């Protein structure tokens, strides 16, 4: 079942679209679910499908098409490092290696305490600030260096 909060958010989203186009809200609905629990389970997709009156498979298509949806638990903070060309040229590989060592996990993995998950992604359209990563797809951290990474991790680790 979708939580009341998620349902309310979806309802707000639905007001943007014609009444017979409920499926237009599918991407937002999936985002709300992920914001709430960090990832999207197939049962959540089924719930979204029922809520919006769509085929379950159609929701699955959307959820698997877009990279930003986590299809498995990705920790409390999902760090997504850009490994596309500009970032590569500016040292993304080293930064990624540093994060891996620091957290003791590889790409697609989650730390044992469930705090951090690590993913890589293609160009985020902010090459001027390369190399970079995003936290939970919400916040971009620019011009990464090992020191900057330490700072970010400390900051996040400091939060409950």
The Cα–Cα gap between 154 and 20 comes to 47
Q: Residue 64 touches which of other proteins, ligand FES, none (CB < 5 to 8 A by kind)?
A: other proteins
**Interface with other proteins, residue 140, by CB under 8 A:** no
> Nearest approach, Cβ of 114 to other proteins (angstroms)?
24
Residue 150's φ and ψ, nearest 5 degrees, are -55, -45
Q: Residue 55 touches which of other proteins, ligand FES, none (CB < 5 to 8 A by kind)?
A: other proteins
**Interface with other proteins, residue 57, by CB under 8 A:** yes
| Residue 22: alpha-carbon gap to chain centroid | 23
The Cα–Cα gap between 111 and 23 comes to 35
Options 7, 22, 60, 107; binder of other proteins; rule CB under 8 A: 60
Q: Residue 24 touches which of other proteins, ligand FES, none (CB < 5 to 8 A by kind)?
A: none
Binding-site ranges for ligand FES (CB under 6 A): 82, 84-87, 123-124, 126-127, 130, 132
Instruction: Answer for the pair 107, 119: CB distance below 8 angstroms, yes or no.
Output: yes
Q: Residue 39 touches which of other proteins, ligand FES, none (CB < 5 to 8 A by kind)?
A: none
E strands, 6-143, in order: 77-82, 116-121, 133-135, 139-141
Q: Of the candidates 142, 160, 88, 118, which has an alpha carbon nearest to the alpha carbon of residue 152?
A: 142
Residues that bind other proteins (CB under 8 A): 42, 45-46, 55-58, 60-61, 64-65
């Amino acid at each position: 079942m979708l939580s009341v909060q998620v349902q309310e958010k979806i309802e707000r989203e639905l007001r943007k679209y014609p009444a017979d186009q409920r499926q237009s809200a599918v991407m937002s609905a999936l985002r709300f679910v992920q914001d709430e629990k960090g990832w999207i389970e197939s049962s959540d997709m089924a719930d979204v499908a029922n809520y919006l009156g769509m085929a379950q498979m159609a929701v699955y298509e959307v959820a698997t098409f877009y990279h930003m949806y986590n299809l498995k638990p990705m920790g409390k903070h999902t760090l997504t490092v850009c490994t596309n060309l500009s970032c590569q040229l500016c040292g993304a590989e080293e930064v990624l290696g540093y994060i891996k060592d620091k957290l003791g996990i590889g790409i697609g993995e989650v730390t044992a305490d469930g705090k951090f998950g690590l993913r890589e992604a293609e160009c985020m359209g902010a090459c001027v600030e390369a190399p970079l990563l995003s936290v939970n797809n919400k916040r971009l951290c620019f011009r990464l260096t090992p020191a900057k990474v330490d700072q970010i991790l400390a900051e996040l680790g400091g939060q409950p």
